[in-house]
Structure formats: structure tokens, C-alpha cells
Amino acid sequence: MRLLRFADLNSSKNKTPSVVTIGNFDGMHLGHQSILNHVAKLAKTLRLTSNVICFEPQPKEFFLKDQAPPRITPFRDKLQALQKHHIDQVLCLAFNQKLASLDPHEFIEKILVYGLNAKHVIVGDDFRFGHKREGDFTLLKELGLKFGFNVESLPSFVQNGGVRVSSSYIRILLQQGNFEQAQTLLGHSYTLSGRIHHGNQNGRKLGFPTINIPMPTQVVVSGVYVVNIHLKGQVYQGIANIGVRPTVCGRLRLLETYIFNFAHDLYGQYVTIEFLQFLRGEKKFSGFEELKLQIEQDKTTALSWLKQHNLITHLKV
């Protein structure tokens, strides 16, 4: 899978006729998967290139700044998921004032037509585009006739029971710690991934060494959780804290994970953290001793929950 930026659109490599879809794809839920599967299948049938257009930052993050909804899926996790759905190319457009000011006609002409040579465009039923979201499906159809590409709208994905699958609803479920229900809408467990970085080793000083993954964007989960740790084909278990670590006056958002009964050096390794159960919110403690006592309690509570749910056998001792 190729990752493209706006500057790459003038390259002759991108002139292969293509099938294109556009969106944030935050969470990569069942609705997103339905669209992506359709794009990949159609591209294969027509012998075209499959393309996804996404934005970084996401439009709401650009306009609302700190008031924007937190992400379900960081950008790097999104790219991995897109690759698993057999997408050939991802065009990531820097969402800035210049892009936000493009009227719908300019957006279609510059990006879809001359940039990606779109022959078939697939969008969701709530799709809007261009300056002030003035473009809609009707306009897209009109421009398709003008520039020679087909347009198809897929209905919202509705689960059994009539529940519409949406990022907004999944975000609420994750904030509530309802991972079981969120998983039924996502079609997969909720995870965050990344490469393990060196930290300040405060956990080691407390007797609870952690693996640390920086979180460059605000994500929907915050606090302390029971987690599975997926590493090199093995599954370990532990507790994770995601936040800014107020006790040590942290500033950068970090995902810190303590793996039960594990003491190997993992710096530089790529790891996936699967969230199972919310334990408590992040809080500031009076000092390291109080923090240590709380972590010991968190571990006891986590082990009890794992045992209660017959998951304790997953532990690697």
C-alpha cells in the first residue's frame, strides 16, 4: 500500500484509473469495513487502483481545536487497518485553511479527476465535501457526469436490532468503558498500537516497570484499564494507564503498560494493547508511595477481574 500526499498527485504513477472513497474512517468500524470491502472488490473486478482519501488533522480537529471529539483510532493504526482491507493507495491530505477553502468543484477537479483519475467514487449516505461542506451526493453525481466517473452511495451500516453503526456512538461506548458493545460495532476489539519508547523509568523505581508508547493525538480512552498485550505473536496481560501522568507532572500523552510477570527489554518493539476493562480514572497522587499503593491495588483488581471472566489462563508466567 502506498501513502500519498498532495504533492504526489502530479506524479504519472497516479494516473492509473481508480476507484476512490473519501472519509475519516475513525475506528474502522463495520460500516467503514463495508465501504472498503466494496472499494477493493470493485477495483479488482474492474482492474483499477483502489484509493482512500483521508485528512490529517481530521476536519473537526482543524475547526474545533481542543473541543474536537477525541479520536478512536490514531493515524498509524488507521493505516494498518486500511492495508488489511487490500487498499492500494491512501491519499492523506493535510487539512488546512487552503484545503478547507476549496469549493466542491475545485476539490473534485483537482483531487479526484486530475489527481487520482477517478472512474468510480463510493461514499457513505451522509457524505459532504468542499468549502463549508457545500458539496453533497447530488452535486457529486452531477460532477461525475461532467468528468466521466460513476458515483455510488452506500447506506449506513445497521446492525441487528436496528443500531446504526457510527464513530460517534462507538466513541460514547468507549468513553463509558463498554468495550463489549463497542466490539460488536467495530467488528474487532478496541486496540492501540505503537513502538515502545524509553521513558523516565518511574515505574521501574516503583517496582512496576512499564512499556511506554507516545500518543501524538488525543484518543477516546483515558485512565487505567485491564489489557491484553499482543507482542510477537504472544498474548500477555497487564494494566495500562493512558494520560498525562499528573503525579510526575507529565505533559505528553502516554500509554504506559505494566505486563504481569514479565521482565524483558522491549525497547523498539512494536506492540498492540487491547483494552478489556476500565478500572479507574487518572488522578494526581501526593507522591510515589501513594501511587505505588494504588498500582498494587489496580493489579489485584485486574487479576480478580481476569479470573472472574476466565481469562487468567492467558497469563504468561
Distances (CA, A) of 69 to 14, 184, 227: 33, 21, 24
Question: 61: closest CA among 53, 71, 52?
Answer: 71
* Average pLDDT value for residue range 58-86: 93
Highest averaged pLDDT of the listed ranges 12-26, 92-106, 148-162, 199-213: 92-106
Q: How confident is the model at residue 267 (pLDDT cuts 50, 70, 90)?
A: confident
Percentage of residues in the chain having pLDDT higher than 70: 91
**Cβ-contact 190, 67 below 8 angstroms:** no
* Average pLDDT value for residue range 41-49: 96
Separation CA 33–CA 90 (nearest Å): 15
pLDDT of residue 288: 73
pLDDT of residue 12: 55
DSSP string covering 121-167, please? EEEETT--BSGGG-B-HHHHHHHHHHHT-EEEEEPPPB-TTSPBP-H
State the Rg of the chain over Cα: 22
Q: Which domains does the chain have, with CATH numbers?
A: 2-154 (3.40.50.620), 189-314 (2.40.30.30)
pLDDT of residue 68: 93
**Range name among 102-106, 296-300, 311-315 with the lowest pLDDT average:** 311-315
pLDDT of residue 57: 94
Q: How confident is the model at residue 317 (pLDDT cuts 50, 70, 90)?
A: very low
Distances (CA, A) of 203 to 133, 241, 284: 47, 11, 15
The chain-wide mean pLDDT, for the chain, equals 88
pLDDT of residue 193: 95
Examine residue 57 and say whether the peptide bond preceding it is cis (omega within 30 degrees of 0).
Answer: yes
pLDDT of residue 245: 58
Q: Pick the more confident residue, 8 or 139.
A: 139
pLDDT of residue 134: 82
Q: Pick the more confident residue, 81 or 249.
A: 81
**Cβ-contact 140, 134 below 8 angstroms:** no
pLDDT of residue 33: 95
* Average pLDDT value for residue range 248-275: 83
pLDDT of residue 206: 54
Q: Pick the more confident residue, 128 or 26.
A: 26
CA angle at 228 for the pair 33 and 256, rounded to the nearest 5°: 105
**Cβ-contact 145, 71 below 8 angstroms:** no
pLDDT at 29 over 60: yes
* Average pLDDT value for residue range 297-303: 94
31-41 burial code (b ≥16 CB/10 A, e <16): bbbbbbebbbe
Q: How confident is the model at residue 215 (pLDDT cuts 50, 70, 90)?
A: confident
Phi and psi of 287, rounded to 5°? 180, 180
Question: 26: closest CA among 161, 138, 165?
Answer: 165
Separation CA 26–CA 20 (nearest Å): 17
- For the chain, the residue count is 317
Strands 191-195 and 270-280: what pairing?
A: antiparallel
Contacts of 63 (CB under 8 A, 6+ apart): 100
pLDDT of residue 257: 94
Give the cell for residue 35: 465501504
Q: How confident is the model at residue 13 (pLDDT cuts 50, 70, 90)?
A: low
Separation CA 9–CA 4 (nearest Å): 8
pLDDT of residue 201: 57
pLDDT at 286 over 80: no
Separation CA 288–CA 71 (nearest Å): 31
Percentage of residues in the chain having pLDDT higher than 90: 64
Question: 28: closest CA among 176, 157, 122?
Answer: 157
pLDDT of residue 79: 94
